[in-house]
Amino acid sequence: MTDNHSHLPPNLRKASEFKLRTKLRELLKDGNFLHATLNERSRVCGKKNCKCASGERHEGLYLVTKRDGKVRQLYVHPDFHDDVRQWVANYQVLQQLINELSEISWQRVADREM
């Protein structure tokens, strides 16, 4: 999805736009979206007899994002790791699709073919 749609001739641009809209529609229909960064951390808890003392560190997954100018983070329960990773990925795809459609609109204005 790294094609540069903005420099396509108008007929190809239409086909490209159609593909983008189709993908967007599919994603909107079934996907959940999460605008955040995933932050994986492993740590040692400090208890002498814990498994982490022999190298098996505790894994933690956190969501990090900004809201109202403040960074906030959220611990993700292991049961939700797969879903949350998918939601974050969905958001990124969604954003990219919208950006590409925006580029097409930009070019349409530039070419005066509304």
Q: Residue numbers of the site for Zn ion (CB under 5 A)?
A: 45, 50, 52
> What CA–CA distances, in Å, run from 84 to 22, 25, 79, 81, 97?
24, 21, 10, 5, 20
Angle, helices 10-30/81-111, rounded to nearest 10 degrees: 150
Indicate the residue among 12 and 45 with the shorter CB distance to Zn ion. Answer: 45
**Least distance (Å) from Zn ion to the CB of residue 64?**
23
- Indicate the residue among 50 and 98 with the shorter CB distance to Zn ion: 50
Of residues 38 and 52, the one with the C-beta less far from Zn ion:
52
Structure token digits, residue 94? 């969604």
Shortest CB 48 distance to Zn ion, Å: 9
